[in-house]
Amino acid sequence: MTGKLLYGANLFANDIRQHYLRYGGKGHPVILIPGITSPAVTWGFVAERLAERYDVYVTDVRGRGLSSTGPDLDYGLNSMAEDVIAFAQALNLDSPALLGHSMGARIAIRASASGRASFSRIALIDPPVSGPGRRPYPSKLPWYVDSIRLSVKGIDAEGMRTFCPTWTDEQLKLRAEWLHTCYEPAIVTAFEDFHKDDIFADLPKLARPAMLMVAGRGGVIEPVDEDEVRSLCPTIEIVRVPNAGHMIPWDDFEGFFGALGDFLSR
């Protein structure tokens, strides 16, 4: 079994072009849904490790990477969740697991809670827990918008270091290369929806095994949030990666996989 990239491809599902990267090709299927400004290619280093055990499909969420983009699309959470459902159905994937990071975790929750597709289990990696009446998401919108606008003009890894000072040179080069594919209105909509759409309401609807992975240094999920999540979804497994910020595998690659363990195939 190999964890290497097999190919990139496009399919038409939920009335848009969805681009994805496939790794490994053997084992239980896993759909990896990246976060708000992370095209699929930026998760390749994680997908390669996952693909040693699983058949991994990393998606470009609409408005990012090589998937459909532009002013005529709806960039709300419901549409992104429908994309995942349609993606799994178009490829005839048999009860795939979902692994979503940040915004991607919120997409995974909404897709699974809809009950419209059979997902075997979902791993939620440090999802934003902001929403109506809740504390705001710790990152600020200008951080995203300013870096995207610079990338549209052309920015190198050193320029990107201002925004991501702890990242490696390789990670910075990849972000500098691909960030311009993140359509600014899509990012603004997603960020605003972090505060408008209360994902907690979906948690009691999760009928499959779920894991919540918390970044110990991320500041996104606090102990009080963990308590509320557990009260709404008593069967959820909560794990922490103490030395990682919000971009958990970037900060602590082995810690991420140690916390994930065999959850996706258990």
Give all domains of the chain, ordered by start, each with its CATH number.
5-265 (3.40.50.1820)
| CB atoms closer than 10 angstroms to residue 15 | 11
Look at residue 107 and tell me whether its pLDDT is greater than 60: yes
Name the pTM for this structure.
0.97
**Cβ-contact 180, 149 below 8 angstroms:** no
Identity of residue 47 = A
What is the tens place of the pLDDT at every residue in 15-42? 999 999 999 999 999 999 999 999 999 9
CB 20 within 8 A of CB 9: yes
> pLDDT at residue 3 above 90?
no
Q: Residue 2 pLDDT more than 70?
A: no
* Annotation says 246 is catalytic: yes
Tokens representing residue 2 in the block: 């190999």
The overall average pLDDT reported for the chain is: 96
Q: Which of 19, 38, 101, 246 is catalytic?
A: 246
pLDDT over 90 at 82, yes or no: yes
How do residues 199-255 score in pLDDT, each as one tens digit?
999 999 998 999 999 999 999 999 999 999 999 999 999 999 999 999 999 999 999
In this predicted model, what pLDDT tens digit does every residue of 182-196 receive, in sequence order? 999 999 999 999 999
Q: Is 222 a catalytic residue?
A: yes
Quote the DSSP letter at residue 93: -
* Active-site residue identified among 158, 170, 192, 222: 222
Catalytic residue check, 180:
no
Residue 56, C-beta contacts closer than 8 angstroms, at least 6 positions apart: 22, 23, 24, 29, 30, 32, 47, 50
Catalytic residue among 67, 68, 102, 130: 102
Strands 5-13 and 55-59, sheet pairing: unpaired
